Amino acid sequence: MEIILAKTAGFCFGVNKAVSCAYEQLNNSSGNLYTYGPIIHNEQVVEQLKAKGMRIANNTDDIKGPGSVVIRAHGVSPDVYEEIKAKGVEVIDATCPYVKKIHLLVNEKHKEGYQIIIVGDKNHPEVIGINGWCDNTALIADTPEDVEKISRNKESKPVCVVAQTTITSEKWHTINEYLKKVFENIIKFDTICNATSKRQDEAFQLSQKVDMMLVVGSKNSSNTQKLFEICRRNCSQTFNIETSGDLPPMNTKKIKTVGITAGASTPDWIIKEVLGKMEELNKQENEMSFKEAFENSLVTLQTGQIVKGKIIGFNNAEVYIDMGYKSDGVIPVDEFSDDPDFNPETSLKVGEEVEVFVVRVNDGEGNVVLSKKKVDSIRNWDKMEEAYENKTPVNAKVVEVVKGGVIASAGGVRIFIPASQISDRFVKDLKEFLKQPVTLRITEFNKQKRKIVGSQRVILAEEKSNKINEVWENIEIGRKYSGVVKSLTDFGAFVDIGGVDGLIHISELSWTKIKHPSEVLKIGDKVEVSIQEFDKEKNRISLAYRKNEDNPWFNAEEKFKVGQIVKGKVVRLVPFGAFVEIQDGVDGLVHISQISSVRIGKPSDVLEVGMMVEAKIIEVNLEAKKISLSIKEVAPINPVNVKQEEKEGNSSKAEENTSVPDEVIPTEHKEDMNLNIGELTGNNKKE
């Protein structure tokens, strides 16, 4: 049995620094000595320190002076530092430098106005400490579901994302993909510890090529658990052990290679104990007789048998399997998976264990012909029967369009979906569903005829019904919804707010008068609306769309005050005055008596639509949305002045009409011409 120890197993830099600091204080401290929380997540190290006199303070109330407190590697929030100092004891900061860097970054971005988001476990002491450096205002996401909760209460702040140092790169990238869909203004800092990433990558590679994987470290250690999760994906025989006493029973006749890695909080002496115990097992294995080893290595195969094997190679046409038989097995690619998107390059891994069906023991060239699709089908028929009996949904992918419907594959089991059951809407071309995932209810199951019929329409109808019920159960006046515009009519817009349509009346679409809803919205627009009225019995919902801040009269008391001089455009003339637009959507009335300083017969005597005027606000009635203006108190427009301007304007035009371009007058007649024009216009006076 070969034993392979990962190069990066054991203490990382930050943990080693913290533990060394704790032991150094044991040798130098004269008073009470504490660690704030366990110095690291390893029970054996913590017990050793306690045996030497180190106490653990779970909170600042546990600390009694005089003495000193060693801050754990995970770090703490600023208020903990202050509370400890207030006790009159010395603070020795053993926070991991990588974690300390996150503290400073979070504190800086928080002061700049960013909303901090931490990707990690909200209950982990490192995350709790980081949150303290932004006044405990951080949003914490460990799963896509956490992002969904965050999206419901998001603010318009810019967002800064950091990571718990021990999470996996996969989780970091997954959560960030979900965050990008929710937030627009976002910056991210990949604060996963370099040592953590390297350790995880090495564990991933090692677990791919061994029969058994041992992850040494505390079950309370975050980085140890991440290593365990990574290794278990590649190697089903993965075990998390804390000491050599936790080693699992192992059949050394079948286990040929064992990989060992350890969390960042695992001391060297525990790793050495595990290695020592493994060497003893190796010694016992070597004592096995050659005859017994040879007999155990023999494998017999029969057509129709299901066996396990490992992928040892592949190309675009075939996958090669080692089953421990004298010959390797061959799976044609089209017999490996029923997924139309299956690609050997991206879907297969050398060393991966698979179950296969023996089609022929000898294909004439000594090869064993295998099929993985047959195994998947056999295994999943029982699951399909269970789904049929329990009416549980089945996830599948459409692989073929046939007459009258489509064929979907669920783990190698082919399911027929009639065209009428693929959707809850009319489908003109079934090809739009090809290679698409579908969720089905099994409506017909006949194991003898190998026939399964499914319906996605049933699932969609149930989902729609659930959404409708949810809306009506939670509906209340003023509740806000995100909806989609479904249709427009002359009197308003219908909006889907989750399976239920509500109406935004045309009067609720804009603060200004519009002729048709299409001036504001179009079908497919996403809108924010609130419930204005509803009637459950009649299934009617009236929605509000206009926002108060868009109302032209919003904050009018601050914008329009009596005595204020405003400029505006004449937009309408009536017998009793003129309406002047002083802001988009806000008109003021100039009464006929407030236009001129002299009596006029009608406003059109001195004003016309489109004319720009200055006026004084003489009255404001916000309740009635009325503003009274006076032109005459600023610059009265009198009929005499208007006629004089018109006369002068006509005179100017007359003068212009009497002028003759010089270029059309012959040189010899210019002097006579000037004289005659002067006489006609009266400008040439004789003395």
Show which residues are catalytic. 126
* DSSP helix, strand, coil percent of the chain (3-state; round to 5): 35, 30, 35
DSSP annotation of 393 reads -
Determine the Cα–Cα distance for residues 210 and 353; give it in Å rounded to an integer. Answer: 11
Determine the Cα–Cα distance for residues 73 and 125; give it in Å rounded to an integer. Answer: 10
Tell me if residue 3 falls in helix, strand or coil. strand
615 contacts 630 by C-beta, under 8 angstroms: yes
Determine the Cα–Cα distance for residues 440 and 407; give it in Å rounded to an integer. Answer: 12
Hunting for tokens 């992918």 — which residue is that? Answer: 397
Q: DSSP string spanning 624-644?
A: TTEEEEESTTTS---HHHHHH
Tally of CB atoms within 10 A around 315? 10
What tokens appear for 51 in the block? 């045996």
Determine the Cα–Cα distance for residues 458 and 446; give it in Å rounded to an integer. Answer: 20
DSSP annotation of 321 reads E
Q: Where are the alpha helices (DSSP H) in 329-431?
A: 344-347, 373-390
Sorted by sequence, the CB contacts under 8 Å of residue 546 that are 6+ apart come out as: 508, 509, 510, 511
What tokens appear for 590 in the block? 């100039």
Determine the Cα–Cα distance for residues 436 and 594; give it in Å rounded to an integer. Answer: 72
H helix or E strand, kind and range, residue 558: helix 556-559
Cα angle at 157 between 153 and 158, to 5 degrees? 120
Q: Across the chain, which distance is largest between two alpha carbons, in Å?
A: 150
Tell me how many helices (H) and strands (E) the chain has: 17, 32
Pairing of strands 492-496, 501-505: antiparallel
Determine the Cα–Cα distance for residues 494 and 502; give it in Å rounded to an integer. Answer: 6
